[in-house]
Amino acid sequence: MLTDGRHVRQLRVGCEFVYLAQVDTPAVFQVEPRDEAPVKLVDQQWSVQPQARLRRYRDLYGNPCVRLILPAGRSVLRYDAVTLVPDATEDANQQAPQLAPDDLPDDVLIYTLPSRFCLPDLLGGEAWSRFGHIPAGYGRVQAICDYVHAHLTFSYGSSNPWTTASDVNISRLGVCRDFTHLAISFCRALNIPARYVFGYLPDLDVPADGMPMDFAAWMQVWLGDRWWTFDPRNNRRRKGRIVIGRGRDASDVAMVTTFGAPVLESMSVYAMEEPP
């Protein structure tokens, strides 16, 4: 059990990256879970071949990051962690109210503004026409997720690192980050604070979708006095979400940032339950 008495399940999460670099290349990796409730980080290990010095820090959002130099040639980086998560879906409250902008906490206001990939200024007219008639609060946010989930089709390779919420709204194709960017944009256009969340999402008590395991993206929305989890891609409450990073959009929580142009030969991700 966790300290609050809830039953837990043990998950193993991690990833592997294989890079080929022409020259020594500084890089930042953001793949470690945030060690905070309701998730408990039990153990974690890095493996880097050839060996490299790792330097840890936290970014301005409090996300754990690791810095290192990818040496010229081929590098293999592996991260592995054991975590405990509640055996319960994330909280929901149909009565959670939307606050007026003047009543929002100071540090939440930034999540009502446009960012690189989330464009409430461009999508504001559509947001108000589609969702403005829905009573403000939890139900309005769920209506946004319902619409985005139905409007977009999940398709690997349909978007690129420069695709914005406006782009995907037109193409109607994307991956989980695109679903999230569009839902965030609609929320912010309606003065609902929404932030981007990136992490591991295992298939706990849900049918596997048949796709290779990958990192996942969802959003958190400020209603009442706290953040609530919404997932426009899967559009259902889930168990086992493990947050790696939070920010305004995907640009704030890139899993890898390289200061050069190494070739990514392969990447694999896993998130699975294992016996304690």
Q: Residues 40-70: pLDDT tens digits?
A: 999 999 999 999 999 999 999 999 999 999 9
**In CATH, what number is assigned to the domain containing residue 131?**
3.10.620.30
* Residue 62 and residue 138 share a domain: no
Number of domains in the chain: 2
**In CATH, what number is assigned to the domain containing residue 65?**
2.60.40.2250
Q: Residues 188-212: pLDDT tens digits?
A: 999 999 999 999 999 999 887 777 7
- Whether residue 94 is contained in a domain is answered as no
Q: Residues 9-42: pLDDT tens digits?
A: 999 999 999 999 999 999 999 999 999 999 999 9
* Residue 165 and residue 45 share a domain: no
Best CA proximity match to 32, nearest among 8, 55, 6, 3: 55
Q: Residues 97-118: pLDDT tens digits?
A: 999 999 999 999 999 999 999 9
* Residue 60 and residue 122 share a domain: no
Once rounded to an integer, what is the mean pLDDT over residues 233-241? 95
* Residue 182 and residue 171 share a domain: yes
* Residue 212 and residue 137 share a domain: yes
Res 2: pLDDT:
53
* Residue 163 and residue 221 share a domain: yes
Range of the domain at 76: 8-87+255-273
Torsion of CA 141, 147, 148, 151, to 10 degrees: -170
- Whether residue 172 is contained in a domain is answered as yes
User: How far is it, in rounded angstroms, from Cα 159 to Cα 266?
Assistant: 19
Res 3: pLDDT:
46
Place of tokens 């839902």: 183
Residue 6 pLDDT class (50, 70, 90 cuts): low
* Residue 116 and residue 167 share a domain: yes
Q: Which amino acid is located at 8 in the chain?
A: V
* Residue 64 and residue 109 share a domain: no
Res 209: pLDDT:
72
- Whether residue 236 is contained in a domain is answered as yes
CB atoms within 10 A of CB 75: 22
pLDDT of 156 > 60? The answer is: yes
- Whether residue 1 is contained in a domain is answered as no
DSSP structure class, residue 194: E
- Whether residue 92 is contained in a domain is answered as no
* Residue 203 and residue 261 share a domain: no
Once rounded to an integer, what is the mean pLDDT over residues 214-227? 97
* Residue 157 and residue 67 share a domain: no
* Residue 229 and residue 121 share a domain: yes
- Whether residue 95 is contained in a domain is answered as no
pLDDT of 221 > 80? The answer is: yes
* Residue 141 and residue 260 share a domain: no
Torsion of CA 34, 36, 39, 40, to 10 degrees: 90
- Whether residue 110 is contained in a domain is answered as yes
